[in-house]
Structure 1
Amino acid sequence: MTAPAHDGYDAVIIGGGHNGLVAAAYLARAGRSVLVLERLGHTGGAAVSASTFAGVDARLSRYSYLVSLLPRKIVEELGIDFRVRARAVSSYTPVQRGGAPTGLLVGGGEARTRASFARLTGSDREYDAWRRFYAMTARVAGAVFPTLTRPLPTRAALRELIDDETAWRALFEEPIGVSIERSFDDDLVRGLVLTDALIGTFAHAHDPSLRQNRCFLYHVVGGGTGDWNVPVGGMGALTGALAGAARRAGAEIVTGHEAVRVETDGRAAEVTYRTSSDEGTVAARHVLVGASPHTLAALLGGEPPAPAEGSQLKVNMVLTRLPRLRDRDVDPREAFAGTFHIAEGYEQLGTAYAQAAAGESPAAPPSEIYCHSLTDPSVLGPEPARAGHHTLTLFGLHTPARLFTGDHDRRRETLLGAVLAQLDAHLAEPLTDCLARDEEGRPCIEAKSPLDLERELGLPGGHIFHGDLSFPYAGEGAGRWGVETAHPNVLLCGAGAVRGGGVSGVPGHNAAMAVLGR
């Protein structure tokens, strides 16, 4: 922990997550004096890699997992060494049909995917509908993604750019459930499509707020293709490279410094910070805040609105081997290579939402699993790699923060047990039999509730997007870049900005462009 070098900067950035680091690198490269204040003892925020289990040489992307929304433009302009790898299979979804285990494998080529749809549904109809539906989202992605690092388009301008009234209605105007039910008949296929609308978002298919549509849109536009890729070296490789780029450009980054107050007259600002031993103040022409709008309101001395409610259970694991499947037609290495969907049929998702909305833990909690080590073995050390170990990360849906109030640890462990039971129903052996052990002999598995994320990462309500996502066009008061606040020299540069959410760097880029007047 090092104190700031001086007491005046062109820009003070609150938060050393990936967006704050992107903003710092751009501003420093433009010749501005920049200070990054990070509350934790390290940079990276939620985009970190961690050796989670004592004595086990494996680096897990502990909080955020995959990359889709990060524009190549940012990587190239900042000159960082960061790569991603495509997964061999997009997804596998197991199910019981006719009393026998089967499933849907998406990936491995068109013929393989078509055959898997036919095996599940008995015809080519659902596969043809699948291709039409995702051809539509691909057209939207190709139009929308390049706009994310430009000044905000108006709603009318974005609609004209997309130039597809059917797609506009399906994604921007009517609940996504309408389009899903119109396009598909099979319950499992419907559920598989809907999951992209529910990641970290507590909603149902026909929610009139359309928060599920906004979430869906962000999950299908990434890279202009909608592909979700594995970061080589883990998520920490990205934030490590960004921190290095910012420092090389001249930005100053101090950890263990928590910003506690921002005062501004619109032209100049002061940021008060606290460390473990003292308190200090630095002056700035601009303040960029990588924290949530809720936290920003508190920093400015206002009454923060009620935080949005996070809705996810994050589970990290290391296995000695991949478990065998009940579905003998699919190799576990293929099944776990993409996104492994559990209890995510359309009706199951609706039931789980209704139960959670009533304050009850879902009887069949839906979730999905990612095995990064199949795509990027470098996250494993030499010994576990030779032994055939693998990392698994699980993301649980419809687990809002309200389910964990009271006896938090017991509720979290009970829900974890229910999630693993849903997975075990599709395995030929219990997952717990495959878990590696740490140096104390404990199984290598940890679970994080929204309240854990609030405590560890400072996410109000544990919401991974800092609040409900927004449509990527200018709404009332959005400003030119979607990062502006009521104070001209205070900007949001985190996930709570318009076009925030996910590991993208977009809000950091846009806040820097707003400062630079580009």
Structure 2
Amino acid sequence: MPDRDVYDAVIVGGGHNGLVAAAYLARAGRSVLVLERLGGTGGAAVSGRPFAGVDARLSRYSYLVSLLPKKIVRDLDLDFRVRTRTISSYTPTERAGRPTGLLVGGGEARTRQAFARLTGGSREYDSWRAFYAMTGEVARRVFPTLTEPLPSRDELRARVDDATAWRTLFEEPIGAAIEERFADDLVRGVVLTDALIGTFADAHDPPLRQNRCFLYHVIGGGTGDWNVPVGGMGALTDAIADAARVAGARLRTGCEVTRIDTDGRRGEVTYREGDRGERTVAARHILVNASPQALAALLGEEPPAPAEGAQFKVNMVLKRLPRLRDTSVEPHEAFAGTFHIAEGYEELAAAYAQAADGRVPTAPPSEIYCHSLTDPTILAPDLVERGHQTLTLFGLHTPARLFARDNDAVRADLLTATLARLDAHLAEPIADCLALDAEGRPCVEAKTPLDLERDLRLPGGHIFHGDLAFPYAEEGSGRWGVATGHANVLLCGAGAVRGGGVSGIPGHNAAMAALGQ
């Protein structure tokens, strides 16, 4: 290969994982160049103002933090904080013709009372406590391994050291454990939702995609807690970008990589910057913070099996929180945690069956949370004073295939149906609570998997770049789970083993691999 500008590492993609890798490598004294296609860094972990004239800085795509290890925050000296939510979840329903619901949080006594009011006894709550005590112990044992070299399956099983927990989470469909432990349909559904966020699967799917998703949702931080990023998700990626720059990494935006060449020891990255034509730089290591499909295209190789996302993302700004039909809980509590909509166990099964058959679910399941209740700093002071709030809705069981015929029309119909399911639990329509932008339009932004594929290059709109993997070594995964078919080309994005979510873990692990750790 001819001589070009040479770096120790070129990182393709300036999302949060690529920035983590850049910061680690630069702090280790390596010369680092980050090439980002968009006009700013951050990828899906960014904040923005999507509504004209409304000073609300929304976490536009990803919105909560669970998997980011404190180790990475400490190692990189990140100026970043999270806040815990006092309420875990609220799930409205109707029993005996009357509105009610299940509030989880606010202390053990209150949660126990909520279970008893819903189910008429203590059995479900006792089962809930036992089940999450088990997952909590797994979290404490497994989470620290995510920033260590990949253990083998047997090594991780020994680390878990609980045959029942291992069978429940790693070997049998999670639906079997849920049905064995819980009797109430609503309680079953609340447990199952953690297995379906960003994953299109049934509770009993043999490939265990739902189990892998569930595992990552309950082990974060060694506790399973999902926390609110202070200042929004952009505050995290800005802090990582600052750390990378301070360490000496060079970050360039508006640079679209068009080709990667490598002989296994030295590589070249060709990119295009605006109308300046193509340029090529060389590197000892190339770290790719993009999907495996994108990497294959850049290398000119056969792509892996296509991925398919299955989520519907809606951002809203409200002038006030809506009143609830269930008057036993205040709106500021119900929306502070995860507000489940149409997520009973049978409702989830029906929605999956309809979507798998190519139909939009008649009762689309979704869940909402209000960032601004925990962290009002994302709103301008005048909006806070006037009582404005944000809502983030994440819809389930909406695979990309449903939108292939007419993305715009299906998006509009799905938004109407989803908000109607929310309205069924409200004492006033959500439309009456929406703030208006500078043009007098309701502050609602909806994104389908095809929108995410177009905007962020997520394959099929899949937020994890593909099916998640169990956090142990399999053939070809390499020591850190970031290996590709080329010794000096590493995955540092969500498609790596132990990727997915806002974690920085694949960025850390790719940096360790490049450093020979």
Q: Establish whether TM, by shorter chain, passes 0.5.
A: yes
Equivalent residue letter for 1:128:
D
Over the aligned positions, Cα root-mean-square deviation in angstroms equals 0.6
Matches of residues 51-450 of structure 1 in structure 2 within 5 Å?
51-277=49-275, 278-450=277-449
Match of 1:464 in 2: 463
CA distance in 2, matches of 1:101, 1:389: 26
CA distance in 2, matches of 1:471, 1:418: 35
CA distance in 2, matches of 1:134, 1:373: 28
Which stretch shows the higher mean deviation, 106-115 or 271-280? Answer: 271-280
- Can you list the C-alpha shifts for 1:378-436, whole angstroms capped at 9, x where unaligned? 01001101100001000000000011112110100100110000000000000000000
Match of 1:453 in 2: 452
CA distance in 2, matches of 1:503, 1:493: 13
CA distance in 2, matches of 1:7, 1:103: 62
- Can you list the C-alpha shifts for 1:449-496, whole angstroms capped at 9, x where unaligned? 000000000111000000000000001111000001110000000000
CA distance in 2, matches of 1:407, 1:43: 31
- Can you list the C-alpha shifts for 1:273-326, whole angstroms capped at 9, x where unaligned? 112211111101000000011111111101213421000000000000000000
Equivalent residue letter for 1:417:
T
- Can you list the C-alpha shifts for 1:308-346, whole angstroms capped at 9, x where unaligned? 100000000000000000000000000000000000000
Picking from 6, 12, 15, the partner of 1:14 is: 12
TM score, norm. by length of structure 2: 0.99
CA distance in 2, matches of 1:281, 1:259: 9
Moved over 4 A (4+): none
CA distance in 2, matches of 1:230, 1:167: 28
**Percent identity of the aligned residues?**
76
CA distance in 1, matches of 2:121, 2:62: 37
Equivalent residue letter for 2:195:
A
Unaligned runs of 5+ in 2: none
CA distance in 2, matches of 1:77, 1:356: 43
Equivalent residue letter for 2:76:
L
CA distance in 1, matches of 2:369, 2:402: 24
SS in 2 for 1:180: helix
SS in 2 for 1:374: helix
CA distance in 1, matches of 2:417, 2:273: 41
CA distance in 2, matches of 1:303, 1:145: 33
CA distance in 2, matches of 1:307, 1:17: 21
SS in 1 for 2:159: helix
CA distance in 2, matches of 1:97, 1:8: 67
CA distance in 2, matches of 1:389, 1:403: 34
Match of 2:36 in 1: 38
Match of 1:3 in 2: none
SS in 2 for 1:132: helix
CA distance in 1, matches of 2:5, 2:312: 41
Equivalent residue letter for 1:502:
G
Equivalent residue letter for 1:284:
A
Q: CA deviation at 1:270?
A: 0.3
CA distance in 2, matches of 1:80, 1:195: 31
Q: CA deviation at 1:7?
A: 1.6
- Can you list the C-alpha shifts for 1:122-164, whole angstroms capped at 9, x where unaligned? 0010000000000000010000000000000000000001000
Equivalent residue letter for 2:488:
N
SS in 2 for 1:197: coil
Equivalent residue letter for 1:141:
A
Match of 1:483 in 2: 482
- Can you list the C-alpha shifts for 1:27-49, whole angstroms capped at 9, x where unaligned? 00000000000000000000000
Q: CA deviation at 1:187?
A: 0.2
CA distance in 2, matches of 1:513, 1:276: 33
CA distance in 2, matches of 1:323, 1:455: 33
CA distance in 1, matches of 2:17, 2:323: 40
CA distance in 2, matches of 1:412, 1:280: 39
SS in 1 for 2:8: strand
Q: CA deviation at 1:8?
A: 1.1
Q: CA 1:306–1:157 in structure 2 vs 1: closer, same or farther (change >3 Å)?
A: closer
TM score, norm. by length of structure 1: 0.99
